[in-house]
Amino acid sequence: MSERSADGQAWDDRYSAGEYLYGTEPNDFLVEQTEGVIPGAALCLADGEGRNSVFLAGRGFEVTAVDISARGSEKARVLAAKREVEVEVITADLAEFDLGSDRWDLIVSIFAHLPPEVRRDLHTRLPRSLKPGGTLILEAYRPEQAERDTGGPPDSSRLFDLSTLQGEVAGLDLVLAREIDRDVLEGRGHTGAGAVVQLVARRPAPWQML
């Protein structure tokens, strides 16, 4: 079994319980950064059980959610139906998923801890997939998190710092870029103080490149 196929099975196992591993409420940073944003076409990467995509759909976004876990996707559809919103939920490997070009007003990546080679390729494809003026919102754990037991993968190679991230999404204008420690309380999956990197970045509009 390949590493990525193993990832899909591992996440199916994690999401097999009736409860939602990371809860059903959206990520705090995402809520904060989308306050007042005009809705558009949004893509949620590694969205798991759907808490963030369902939140955005409730805000009026036209949302596509992608995750490698079939079980997570199933629970995302259930949550969307319960909240009476529409989300296009796709079960796919992000190593192979076509992001498109000039397609998204918003791309969201919340705690998407992928194998490093998959992450690097995905991140380098993000700028072109955004529409001019489109925004990337990302929060993830930094390598220091691997030493804690409050969430995130124990494999530090799947974690990254701000410098690494900035290099991988080169071409986007930074709106916010920081490394902080904050309490992340999201279900039983994220349970306390976390070492995170947060980024909001925008693809320049044509007039900005003149």
Q: How does 173-186 read in b/e, with b if 16+ C-beta sit within 10 Å?
A: eeeebeeeeeebbb
pLDDT digits (tens, 9 = 90+) for 125-134: 999 999 999 9
Q: How far is CA 206 from CA 134, 144, 148, in A?
A: 12, 38, 43
User: Which domains are delineated in the chain?
Assistant: 3-209 (3.40.50.150)
pLDDT at res. 1: 40
Residue owning tokens 């296009």 = 88
pLDDT at res. 209: 54
Rounded CA gap, 160 and 158, in Å? 7
pTM of the predicted structure, to 2 decimals:
0.95
Residues of the chain predicted below pLDDT 70: 1-4, 207-210
pLDDT at res. 207: 65
pLDDT at res. 195: 98
Cβ(69)–Cβ(91) below 8 Å: yes
pLDDT at res. 206: 78
Closest among 174, 166, 173, 196 to 184, alpha carbons compared:
196
pLDDT at res. 6: 84
Q: How far is CA 52 from CA 1, 27, 30, 60, 121, in A?
A: 30, 7, 8, 13, 23
Q: What is the DSSP string of 162-209?
A: HHHHHHHTTTSEEEEEEEEEEEEEETTTEEEEEEEEEEEEEPPPGGGG
Tokens representing 155 are: 């494999």
Helix intervals (H) in the chain: 3-14, 28-34, 51-58, 70-83, 116-129, 162-168
